[in-house]
Amino acid sequence: MCSVGSLITLRRFLAVTPISHRLCFTPAFQIRPALFETNFSNPTTFFKAKTFAKMTDNKEDLKKKLTPLQYHVTQEKGTERPHTGEYDKFFEEGMYSCVVCGQELFSSKTKFDSGCGWPAFNDVLDQGLVKLSTDTSLAPRIRTEVQCAKCDAHMGHVFDDGPKPTGKRFCINSASINFGPKKAD
């Protein structure tokens, strides 16, 4: 470790900034609170910011917005019965978005008929749009849960038995997604 004196004598740098003792330290967010509240380059700031709160509705608002099945699936990590979902055998071109926040998550281009009873996709639009976590609710069977990264809504699960090129099968509840048809060119 070098001291200021050794840096000067080594002449490795053209100039050395003098170090002065400061008695009172004032964090930047106290000087310019508005800047701190809107600085989203810091993830901690982003998640504490008021704008993040707008992305998540409170439970009562969600119960009014969603059907009972949609609420059960997305907020209570439920699962719809197999072969009953609206999008299981649905193959029109378009995008699938989170039923809670509207974030587009899947494309019809990656949808395939897996025969499992739920809509299946072999990839997401972008890996950052979903959160994957370990689900031990059916122990000893361990699964990987898929959640919307924007609002934490439960989507379904992902398995390693899908088609190439990804080898993944995102098994998603119809109740957790909405479909938007492809826009005409």
The share of the chain scoring above pLDDT 90, in percent, equals: 64
Predicted confidence (pLDDT) at residue 30 exceeds the cutoff of 90: no
Alpha helices by DSSP H, listed for 39-163, are 43-48, 50-53, 59-65, 68-75
pLDDT in tens, 101-147: 999 999 999 999 999 999 999 999 999 999 999 999 988 999 999 99
Active site residues: 171
Mean pLDDT computed over every residue of the chain: 83
> Average pLDDT of 5-9?
64
User: What confidence category does residue 49 fall into, taking pLDDT thresholds of 50, 70 and 90?
Assistant: very low
Task: Supply the pLDDT for residue 113.
Answer: 96
pTM here? 0.69
Q: Based on C-alpha coordinates, what's the Rg of the chain?
A: 25
The helix or strand, by DSSP H or E, that contains position 15, with its residue range, turns out to be none
Q: Which pLDDT score, from 0 to 100, does residue 20 have?
A: 62
Tokens of 132: 């994957």
Please, what are the domains in the chain? 31-56 (no CATH), 66-181 (2.170.150.20)
